[in-house]
Amino acid sequence: MSGTGGPSLIDSLFQRTLDDLIKGIRLHIPGASQSTFISKSLDEIRREIKSTDLQTKSIALQKLTYLHSLHHIDMSWAAFHAVELTSSSSFIHKKTGYLAASLSFRSSIDVLLLLTNQLRKDLGSNNQHEVSLALECLSVICTPDFARDLTPDIFTLLTSSKSFIKKKAIACLLMVFSQYPDAVRVCFKRLVENLESAGDNNAQVLAATVGVFCELATKEPRSYLPLAPEFYRILVESRNNWVLIKVLKIFAQLGKLEPRLAKKVVEPICDHMKRSEAKSLVFECVRTVVSSFYEYEFAVKLAVEKIREFLMDSDLNLRYLGLQGLLLVAPHHLWAVLENKEVVIKSLSDVDRNIKLEALRLVMSMVSDDNVVEICRVLIGYALKSDPEFCNEILRSMLSTCSRNVYEIIIDFDWYVSLLGEMARIPHCQNGEEIEFQLIDIGMRVKDVRPELVRVGRDLLIDPALLGNPFIHRILSAAAWVSGEYIQFSRNPFEIMEALLQPRTNLLPPSIRSVYIHSTFKVLSFCLHSFLLPEEGVNSSLIKVDDIEPGFTYSESEQEFTENDHATSYSSMHKGDTFTQESIVNVLTLVITSLTPLTESHDVEIQERVRNVLGLAQLAQEEICSHHDQKEKMVDKVDLKTSTIVRLINEAFSEDLGPIPFNAQERVPIPNGLVLEDNLSNLDSICADVQLPINESFSLIKPTFLPTDGDSTSNQQNEEDSEVSAAESTSLLAEHRKRHGLFYLPSDTNKKASSSFPPANDPKQGDNDVEDLVKLTEESLVLKRKPNLSRPRPVVVKLDEGDRLPITVKKTDENDDLISGAVRDVLLGNEATSHSNNPSGRRKGKSHSKDKVENSETSSSSKRRSKHRSHGKNVEEKDENSEKSKQKSGGRHKSRRRADGHIDVAVQKPVIPDFLL
Amino acid sequence: MIHFVLLISRQGKVRLTKWYSPYTQKERSKVIRELSGMILTRGPKLCNFVEWRGFKVVYKRYASLYFCMCINQEDNELEVLEIIHHYVEILDRYFGSVCELDLIFNFHKAYYILDEVLIAGELQESSKKTVARLVAAQDSLVEAAKEEAASISNIIAQATK
């Protein structure tokens, strides 16, 4: 009788069929009612599936499979029932069981082992359809265990007389190999033999075999070089497009490794290209030629011709592929792209987004330092016309292309910086983050461009409309930082001050607003310095830059500036009428009135910075106003308290910020006695001590605050605090500056580090700034090629790598290694000996690979001599090869021992297969 | 190789999924969601290839159904397009001008036919005739088994067990 909880006979008789289930699901509206129905059906299925009647069970499982495959219902709990059904003698039950297994089984299922025996039984069945079921299932759910246990059975099937079974067994091998590389040693020979199968009956067998080799060769092509003659024969003789496409893929891989092979196959490939009607084959030929055989002019010419046909076709698919083909040609034959320039540019406004993207990539591939300006101009035009998504795609690729290898292709940085400014103003621009990064990055790396940078920054800052667009807040933040940091290049610091303090800045998020405020601080201290200590201004911070850049022009009127009138304009700027008593007083008033309300800001960062600025401004205001009467006495200014402070602040700011290598942090030696991996179990006790004072400072919030301010987490200082002594405030500011830098360059984990320890690649970077800059200037003035640039660049390149692409270790499947190792062994005729899955085995594989090339060379040369294969000779050659490999590996003890072993076995094993040649 | 085959209706309903590369259940749902969002929104007269997570998805719409296959970057898109068409033609021949409902109610048959067309993510049979013959042979085996199971004597045996 049926087991506990199993269905009654009535249940079985009136079981809902699959049709009923599907109809039921369709009757219910998707959503709650449908899912109720499904869960009700699931309960039924759970009951029915326990039935002893296989028919009932089978229908239940089929329904469950349906729910699993189309409604994502978990069915791992039913795995046992699926296995049970596969063992049924009835074909329909078996089929249902296998379908469920192949759709739902995963290696984690524990009943998987139960299936092994059934699979073995079915693989050996007389009924070819049962064998087919088992093979199909295995090809999907194969695990290392299955592969290991069933390799012998599949090996047997490889010689099956029914091509229906044979092709499936062959296709299955790919999975088996990848799960259990040692299977290669058993099956590889038979697999290779199938390459020779010909005739109509065997067409599918050949296709399956080539398919397996195609997949194997994409993972590790080198091992399959010895089989090149076989593939060549197929390439020339086969008329089956499916097979030809696969063979072409194999040759695309092999051709890269063996130039002589390339020479041999280029012609047949061109023949196919000319002859074939099938676009898929033609395109495969094109792709093979342009990606692997690009040295053969005539082949490339033919391929480009075909690409052009594709590009002109009305079929969008072909146009898309044509663009892809061009993209593949581009690295080696840019002329092909230039020839089709119009089509490419036209495709930028295609209806299909994919085609547009492809065209964009192509346009980017054409970019060089000669035409970058022109291309960017065209692209900006397209960006303005395009939909927001594609517009941003254009901007993104422009940004990434231009910044590639640390702005390698940019010669005119003034132009590039203004381009960045232009991008910020494109309505849909969402690349704020990248533009922000580049503006600051360029500011730090390229001193020459700073005046232009400040000008671009100014244009962005003074436009109140931009503050309303959240997408460009990041750019504004960069503009504010640049304007503050390089304020000495500004034509009109007061204007920037006004821009930084304009009322609409309250639209900015706090983090960016605090940047604005800190920039205010820099601008203010610069103004005060220029006013109070005009001579020093020339002598200290500014002169530094001035010395560095003899050809540099301060940007009073950048356009017509030349070196000659530099001196005059400089003085007119700083000693002239810009910094009058009145204007300074105005600035101070402006600062104090605009920032005072912010002293009660919720944001700690803003509050703290505002207080710093106000501290300085109030002090200066007091002193300057009191000296108002005696303004003719310039000497007095120097003695003012403010002067001392401003001098110190400016000294702190005068240190130039520069890019820092990504790995700078790692270079900091860990201090003695600092244990980084220590358990932090006693952290609580430490924190308890630390937290106390913080809480106290929180409690300093004045009760006069608005009610909403109650939760303000400000770390505010008292009024008296802002009147700290000069030395204290300087150190405080230095501290801020340090943090400020951190804020901008996330990877620069230790900004101060630039002075305290040498950065990774350019130890004397700080000192060499002068030289670098001179070189950079010369370079941009004179001409391109950048041998002299090679010095500053390396630092940046490294930094760039670290910043941008996280280092991805190319993940080679260990199994692939094992497979190719095994393949080499088999091809060299020593399959039975080694079970190399240890390092020494791997090493041996390596040492063989060299021989492999020679081996293939001999093989292809011998093939050139005569197409007919002479077996005896080949066997000889084989032996020679093994000899060679023996001698070669003599240097390494481990491999030598192994190689010797192989030879011994080779002697015992009389027949070395001749399939190699 | 083909990593997976998806059949999605115009309304975003999944009609068939076959995975040749390992994906967890969670990943499968995510893939389906992402791809149907991407493919169903594309206009009618655009190209049949979309790039997706470093792979290519080749799709083609037949009536209300989108047939999608995911392949590697370097695989041949046109070839896969032909495979899709090949499969559709076989389905059409088998069901006699196939429609979405045929595939809904005979989902298992759609799988069996697919299993004769593809194996391990590769095309295994390029002849429509052969596939039709094989599927018919299997159907007759199934019918034979069904008849046996449905015979009265069997039911009696079951009832009296």
Residue A215 near residue A815 (C-beta atoms within 8 A): no
- How would you label A699-725 residue by residue, b for 16+ Cβ within 10 Å and e otherwise? eebeeeeeeeeeebebebbeeeebeee
Residues of A in contact with B5 (CB under 8 A): none
From the CA of A128, how many Å to the nearest CA of chain B?
Answer: 10
Q: Looking at the partner chain, which of B15, B137, B145 has a beta carbon nearest the beta carbon of A90?
A: B145
Residue A423 near residue A459 (C-beta atoms within 8 A): no
* Count of A-B CB contacts under 8 Å: 154
Q: How confident is the model at residue B25 (pLDDT cuts 50, 70, 90)?
A: confident
Alpha-carbon distance of A641 to A98, in angstroms, equals: 90
Kindly report, residue by residue over A667-695, the tens digit of the pLDDT: 777 777 777 777 766 666 666 655 444 43
Residues of A in contact with B144 (CB under 8 A): 91
Alpha-carbon distance of B49 to B36, in angstroms, equals: 13
Residue B56 near residue B68 (C-beta atoms within 8 A): no
Strand pairing report for B2-9 and B14-19: antiparallel
Residue A916 near residue A226 (C-beta atoms within 8 A): yes
Residue A140 near residue A107 (C-beta atoms within 8 A): no
Higher pLDDT, B62 or A842: B62
pTM: 0.68
Q: How many CB atoms lie within 10 A of CB A810?
A: 4
From the CA of B107, how many Å to the nearest CA of chain A?
Answer: 7
Backbone angles phi, psi at A659, to 5 degrees: -65, 150
DSSP at B9: E
Higher pLDDT, B32 or A599: B32
DSSP at B48: S
Residue window 267-286, chain A: list those with CB within 8 Å of chain B: 279-280, 283-284
Q: What is the per-residue pLDDT for B126?
A: 86
Residues of A in contact with B126 (CB under 8 A): 203-204, 207, 240, 242
For Cα atoms A758, A760, A765, give the angle at the middle one, nearest 5 degrees.
50
Question: With an 8 Å Cβ cutoff, are B125 and A93 in contact?
Answer: no
Q: Looking at the partner chain, which of B29, B43, B149 has a beta carbon nearest the beta carbon of A90?
A: B149
Residue A235 near residue A210 (C-beta atoms within 8 A): no
Question: With an 8 Å Cβ cutoff, are A69 and B107 in contact?
Answer: yes
Mutate to test the interface with A, among B6, B14, B46 (most CBs of A within 10 A): B46
3-state secondary structure A229-268: HHHHHHHHHCCCHHHHHHHHHHHHHHHHHCHHHHHHHHHH
Mean pLDDT, chain A, as a whole number? 71
Q: How confident is the model at residue B56 (pLDDT cuts 50, 70, 90)?
A: very high
Q: Looking at the partner chain, which of A171, A218, A279 has a beta carbon nearest the beta carbon of B122?
A: A171
Alpha-carbon distance of A399 to A623, in angstroms, equals: 48
3-class SS of residue A831: coil
Kindly report, residue by residue over A547-591, the tens digit of the pLDDT: 333 333 333 333 333 344 443 344 344 444 456 778 888 888 888
Q: Tell me, yes or no, if B156 comes closer than 8 A to chain A by beta carbon.
A: no
Percent of chain A with pLDDT over 90: 1
Mutate to test the interface with B, among A10, A19, A21, A69 (most CBs of B within 10 A): A69
Mutate to test the interface with B, among A14, A127, A164 (most CBs of B within 10 A): A164
Q: Could you identify the residue written with the tokens 């995975």?
A: B19
Two tokens, residue B134 = 């094989």
Alpha carbon A319 to its chain centroid, in Å, reads: 27
- For chain A, state the CA radius of gyration: 38
Q: Tell me, yes or no, if A74 comes closer than 8 A to chain B by beta carbon.
A: yes
Residues of B in contact with A66 (CB under 8 A): 107-108
Residue window 20-39, chain B: list those with CB within 8 Å of chain A: 20, 22, 24-25, 28-29
Mean pLDDT of A131-145: 89
Alpha-carbon distance of A752 to A525, in angstroms, equals: 21
Residue A437 near residue A476 (C-beta atoms within 8 A): no
The chain A residue lying nearest B3, using CA atoms, is: A140
Residue A849 has pLDDT above 70, yes or no: no
Residue A610 has pLDDT above 70, yes or no: yes
Residue window 50-79, chain B: list those with CB within 8 Å of chain A: 50-51, 72, 74, 76-79
Residue A694 near residue A710 (C-beta atoms within 8 A): no
Q: Tell me if ipTM is over 0.90.
A: yes
Residue A759 near residue A799 (C-beta atoms within 8 A): no
Residues of A in contact with B145 (CB under 8 A): 90-93
Domain assignments of chain A as residue spans, ordered by start: 372-662
Reported as type and span, the H/E element at residue B72 is strand B65-72
Question: With an 8 Å Cβ cutoff, are A140 and B20 in contact?
Answer: yes
Two tokens, residue A546 = 């001035």
Q: Tell me, yes or no, if A292 comes closer than 8 A to chain B by beta carbon.
A: no
Question: With an 8 Å Cβ cutoff, are A172 and B120 in contact?
Answer: yes
Kindly report, residue by residue over A799-844, the tens digit of the pLDDT: 444 444 444 444 455 666 777 777 777 776 654 444 434 444 344 4
